Amino acid sequence: MDATVRTPTSEETLQSIQRELTAFARRSRSRAGGLYPGMPLVAYSMLTVMTERGGCRATDLATYFMLDKSTVSRQVGALEKLGLVVRETDPADHRGQILRPSAAGHRAVEQANEQRRLAFLERLADWADEDLRQFRRCLERYNAAA
């Protein structure tokens, strides 16, 4: 008897991708609280962008994350209360402010990045190098389409 292997349809494949990406996002959100107590994933993400850019305006964060300005304001306020962000007058426009990570903010991002790096190392430890390269290429291609 010849058993045939059923190939998933495009719709089934897309549903599986959606399910897996949703699980990934949920895991990321649930672990975010462990990165820095009291800092939600959105705030951590904003702090990371500020760190990468050396500072930015709140409107830049709203545009980057496609969020309402009031949401950005609440998250930045939470980061300020934690002592992770400082405001400076924008030298290009003295009416505006640049948000920059404080020394504690830089340390929080470094510690969180190291925790994430170690978690990825553990999770991907038994993956072949070519599998990792293919995974990277697929993620880059997916994110570039956004």
In the chain, which stretches have pLDDT less than 70? 1-6, 8, 32-38
- What is the per-residue pLDDT for 28? 74
Record: fold of 39-144: Arc Repressor Mutant, subunit A (1.10.10)
For 85, list phi and psi in degrees, rounded to 5: -135, 145
Q: Tens digit of pLDDT for each residue in 32-50?
A: 666 666 677 788 899 999 9
Query: Could you write out the DSSP letters of every residue in 29-76?
Result: HHHHHHHSTT--HHHHHHHHHHHHHT-B-HHHHHHHHT--HHHHHHHH
Structure tokens at 105: 């903010």
Which pLDDT score is estimated for 94? Answer: 86
**pLDDT for the residue 5:** 65
User: How far is it, in rounded angstroms, from Cα 55 to Cα 98?
Assistant: 6
| Residue 41 confidence (pLDDT) | 79
Query: What's the pLDDT score for residue 1?
Result: 52
